[in-house]
Chains A and B, each alone.
Chain A
Amino acid sequence: MITKSTLIFICILFGSTQALSEEDTYVHFEQANLVQGRVIWIDSCEGCHAYGIAESPNPLKAKDWQDRVVKPIDILYDHAINGFFGPEDTMMPPRGGNDSLSDNEVKLAVDYMKALAEYYINKEDN
């Protein structure tokens, strides 16, 4: 017989495990731009990129970003700010569809996504 308090404990444990999991997955970096970028990325980019929605490159998957992290950062900024059509007509909407983001905020989110991708590429290499 599971008591109410046991159930509450299980819920709290499960909830904290979920939270810990997201905290671990979306790595915290120390640099100020990446701290800001992480917040913006989770709010405006994670919904698609962390799940590969509409074939968006997932920074948690090394193979998705191996060819992208070596590109000049200005190209990544340009694609994120102005939008981009992939070779198979996939579409990255301008500012990820969030028109309220400034150019600088988009750049911070790109910085974070690139850093996250590099983290997972290095993790796979090691």
Chain B
Amino acid sequence: MKEEKKMNLAIVTIATCLSIGAGIAIAKDAGTTPSITPKAMADALHLVMDSDRAVYTKRIVNRLVKKEKVIKASEHFEDDKALVLPAQMFRFGAEMVAKRAEEKPDVNFSYSLQSLWPINKQNAPKTDVEKEGLKFVAENKGQNYYATEELGGTEYFTAVYADTAVAPVCVSCHNDHKDTPKRDFKMGDVMGGVVIRIPISG
């Protein structure tokens, strides 16, 4: 009877160890085995970017600039001692991600804010997919654009999300800017797009 108990205990112990071992192995694999589609990944990244930008717009700019009127937001924020515009904050984030990603070979993705009517020519689309995507989101409001493209021997999944004029200042800044190629934006118009690019092979 005693022997049988010992045997049962040994079996339970071995089974428990094996289960834990298998669990650890699965958990290790989960970190390196692809389990999310490029589209879902791009959508998730955009959700984070868009939410962070919306929070900055609402909780910082709307509240401090428009509601409590304690500070201004300005394109020339350093000279004007003002807050950066939401679009500038987004762009600074993209630049920092690009810089930090250089040190992380596994984190090989990029994002940028582009427009068919850019104030700064550097923000114009360069690839055919970017051009087509920006045109699509401008003409099909409420829809995103997804495509694959090959650049420098690597295949990428590229997603384009509409960037919309959400406040009068977006409209007035773009319409009145000396370098703007378009001066008839209205509130709610698609002014450009967020381009997210994820490598899928190569």
Contacts and interface: CB of A to CB of B under 8 A. Distances in A.
B62 A90 contact: yes
Contacts of B54: 54-55
B187 A51 contact: no
Interface string B153-191: 000000000001011100100000000000000111100
A98 interface: yes
A48 B165 CA distance: 9
A125 interface: no
Interface in A42-60: 44, 46-48, 51, 53-55
Interface string A84-97: 01001111010011
A44 B62 CA distance: 21
Interface of B: 54, 57-59, 62-63, 66-67, 141-142, 164, 166-168, 171, 186-189
B164 A97 contact: no
Given A51-B141, A97-B168, A91 B62 contact: yes
Contacts of A47: 186-189
Interface residues of A, number: 17
A98 B167 CA distance: 11
Contacts of A90: 58, 62
A108 B188 CA distance: 19
Contacts of B167: 54, 91, 93, 97
Interface of A: 44, 46-48, 51, 53-55, 85, 88-91, 93, 96-98
Given A85-B67, A88-B58, A91-B62, A96 B187 contact: yes
A126 to B, nearest CB: 26
Contacts, number: 53
8 contacts: A48-B188, A51-B164, A54-B54, A89-B59, A89-B62, A93-B168, A96-B187, A97-B171
Contacts of B141: 51
A55 B167 CA distance: 12
Contact of A48 (B57, B58, B63, B187): B187
A55 B53 CA distance: 13
B63 A89 contact: yes
A107 B127 CA distance: 45
A11 to B, nearest CB: 14
Nearest to B170: A97
A77 B7 CA distance: 81
A91 B58 contact: yes
Contacts of A48: 164, 166, 187-188
Among B58, B59, B164, B188: residue with most chain A CB under 10 A: B188
